[in-house]
């Protein structure tokens, strides 16, 4: 069953509010990041290699958070583009409708539940995070 105009409007509101929140978080993170934790650790004299390592890890974690937010912003923009071309709410693999409940929980979903499960089984090893 295709999404109703009311459902589409609700999902668009969700995407818009999440997009704005992410942009604000990225802006705040960039403004305050200046690697404050790193500055505090390295600002001590004398700094040892352990302090430097912890500072580097904290700086990398901040960048990782920003990268994750930026990826989600890109996903939101892609979902909006699908909305403009009329394919929003359709699975990119099987073209079936993605359920409203799924889209409500995950508005940037590109796949129906069954295709997403299959995708995760096939590509589970490629997304293994490492430090």
In 3D space, the residue among 109, 130, 125 whose CA is nearest the CA of residue 3 turns out to be: 109
Helices (H), 34-48: 36-43
Is residue 73 within 8 A of residue 24, CB to CB? The reply is: no
pLDDT-derived band at 21 (thresholds 50, 70, 90) equals: very high
Whether 35 has a pLDDT exceeding 60, the answer reads: no
pLDDT-derived band at 41 (thresholds 50, 70, 90) equals: very low
pLDDT-derived band at 53 (thresholds 50, 70, 90) equals: low
Q: What is the pTM of this model?
A: 0.72
Domain positions in the chain are 5-127
Q: Does domain 5-127 have CATH number 2.60.40.3950?
A: no
Give the whole-angstrom CA distance, residue 50 versus residue 56: 10
What pLDDT is attached to residue 54?
A: 59
């Amino acid at each position: 069953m295709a999404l109703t105009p009311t459902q589409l409007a609700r999902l668009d509101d969700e995407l818009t509010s999440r997009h704005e929140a992410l942009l604000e978080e990225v802006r705040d993170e960039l403004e305050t990041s200046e690697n404050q934790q790193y500055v505090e650790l390295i600002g001590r004299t004398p700094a040892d290699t352990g302090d430097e390592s912890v500072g580097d890890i904290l700086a990398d974690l901040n960048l990782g958070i920003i990268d994750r937010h930026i990826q989600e912003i890109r996903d939101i923009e892609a979902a909006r583009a699908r909305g403009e071309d009329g394919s929003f709410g359709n699975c990119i693999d099987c073209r079936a409708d993605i359920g409203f409940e799924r889209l409500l929980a995950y508005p940037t979903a590109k796949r129906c539940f069954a295709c997403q499960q299959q995708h995760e089984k096939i590509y589970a090893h490629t997304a293994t995070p490492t430090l």
